[in-house]
Amino acid sequence: MKNPGMDFEIWKQLRKKWMDLDASGHRVKVDFQLVVHPTEKDNIMAIDVVQHIDGKPVTETVQHRAGEAYAALGIATLSGEELTGILKGMMQQLRDQSGQNAAAVTLTLTSTSSTSGEVIGLLEEQSPVQVSYQHYYVLNALRDRMIEASGKLVNRVSALYQGGDLKLEVQ
């Protein structure tokens, strides 16, 4: 298996975050899920760091190299409109899988570095739902398109899916 060569600074930031949370009395459980290239099984493209903070999942996806997986996932050449359509379908699926008949699903991506970002999923703006690298990559590709279009740095993207409509907000 190839060494994923993930940026050591990201791991130091995560370790500090976990130590701070633990010191302030929060319960923290962390799971790691390797994201393997679809055709090159020895190529780790990213790691999903699923942090259960007081029982609520927060997923940090850490890429090997920024944007490297876009081609493997089939999203490298997609427009912002096409990515929005994919995201809309993914959020509909999250809503349907929840079994809670949620009227709204919110996904928020916060970029933590050029090769990582934290994604939080919520049903009805309060019930956490676990997300994965797929959500990260589509949201991050959308963020990249927004940066290209505006020329402005975008650190945070929120997507609200409600009533079949998708609304994006940037910060």
30-72 pLDDT, tens digit per residue, is 999 999 988 988 888 899 999 999 999 999 999 988 888 899 9
Q: Which two tokens stand for residue 14?
A: 């995560």
Mean pLDDT of the chain: 91
In the three-class reduction of DSSP (H, G, I as helix; E, B as strand; rest coil), residue 49 is classed as strand
Residue matched to tokens 């995201």:
87
95-153 pLDDT, tens digit per residue, is 888 777 778 999 999 999 989 999 999 998 789 999 999 999 999 999 999 999 999 99
